[in-house]
Structure 1
Amino acid sequence: MMSNLAQGLVQIYTGNGKGKTTAAFGLALRAVGHGFRVYIIQFMKGIDGYGELDGIKRLSPECQLEHFGGQGWVHKGENLEGHLEEANKAFLRAEELILSGNWDIVILDEIVNAIWFELIPESRVLELLSKKPPHVELILTGRNASQALIERADLVTEMVPKKHPYEKGIMSRKGIEF
């Protein structure tokens, strides 16, 4: 299948502020509008209830999404077995999609968090970046991007919180934060 992109880059959306996934999904929406094929793999999201799961279906078949993750919260270094298995499945699927030549853009949502929580070795992700075909745009999201990832990326945006409704006791809102 011929790609819409002559040159695919690596982008990272990181930082402690809100907007990393939102930025990646906004890019997906824009790309589909131009006829691009987009595939999203979500790491560490094993539960339903995220609005994007149903929203992306409206962009199908040009945009597809799969989500992976164990049950419950991940605590670094504790009870990781189910989370490790799901992260590995997500990574293998991501690698397959990136190398397939069928997608213009592949978004690996929360993969940077999966590295930080030690669910995926950073070395595997860096190796995947080296194997990325030149016509595939690759987007990585999540907090705590390492210097090695930042150096390998072509674009890095850090979301920095300045003010958040949570500080006033306003909890996450359906359709806005999830």
Structure 2
Amino acid sequence: MANLEKGLIQIYTGNNKGKTTAALGLALRAVGHGYHVFILQFMKGRQDYGELQGLKRLEPECRIEQYGSPGWVLKGQAKETDRREAREGLERAREIIMSGEWDIVILDEIINALWFELIPEEKVMELLAQKPEHVEVIMTGRNASPQLIEEAHLVTEMVEIKHPYELGIQARKGIEY
């Protein structure tokens, strides 16, 4: 198995689309170079996301698991099932990161799970501090905290300049999901 010499911490944040797409693009590139990628999606439980089917074609070098309900979570109104799913996802992330079997671990929407108070930020910070040297961790989601930004080596903010929603164009299969 090819291991990275030095795994960094990356964040894709901001209010515009493209965070998950950027992380999945990195996964595709990494698999092309022989790396092993594990993707954990927080707050996503729908089965119609195109990446779920597309990434199956990259197995066993790339795997994806979801930890979330199919519906929406409202800030301050999270259900216990939402918190439980997020805690299970974080525990699974710990197992994957510490296993030594994966070069790159993508924690898709974990920053949203933090913002919605589904999991405590200190648990994520502990995990980042304990990650093995060779594991790259990519986190996505809106509203990255100053503490997370400080810990990361690379932070990219997706800034909306123009969006199809402004024209009344809804999310499109294969493009936004």
How many Å separate the matches in 2 of 1:56 and 1:3?
A: 20
Question: Conserved in 2, the CA contact under 8 Å of 1:8 and 1:136?
Answer: yes
Question: Conserved in 2, the CA contact under 8 Å of 1:44 and 1:70?
Answer: yes
- Report the counterpart of residue 149 of structure 1 in structure 2: 148
For structure 1, which runs of at least 5 residues remain unmatched after alignment? none
Q: Could you tell me the TM-score, scaled by structure 2's length?
A: 0.98
Shift of 1:118: 0.1
For structure 2, which runs of at least 5 residues remain unmatched after alignment? none
How many Å separate the matches in 1 of 2:171 and 2:154?
A: 29
Q: Does 1:131 align with 2:135?
A: no
- Report the counterpart of residue 84 of structure 1 in structure 2: 83
AA partner of residue 170 (structure 1): I
Q: Which runs of 4+ in 1 moved over 4 A?
A: none
How many Å separate the matches in 1 of 2:23 and 2:70?
A: 24
Mean Cα deviation higher: 102-111 or 43-52 = 43-52
Question: Conserved in 1, the CA contact under 8 Å of 2:97 and 2:105?
Answer: yes
- Report the counterpart of residue 99 of structure 1 in structure 2: 98
Alignment of 1:45-124 (within 5 A): 45-124=44-123
Equivalences, count: 177
Deviations 1:5-63 (A, max 9, x none): 00000000000011000000000000000000000000000121100010100101100
How many Å separate the matches in 2 of 1:5 and 1:95?
A: 18
Shift of 1:156: 0.2
AA partner of residue 42 (structure 1): Q
Determine helix, strand or coil for the equivalent of 2:82.
helix
How many Å separate the matches in 2 of 1:79 and 1:110?
A: 15
RMSD (Å) for aligned C-alpha atoms: 0.8
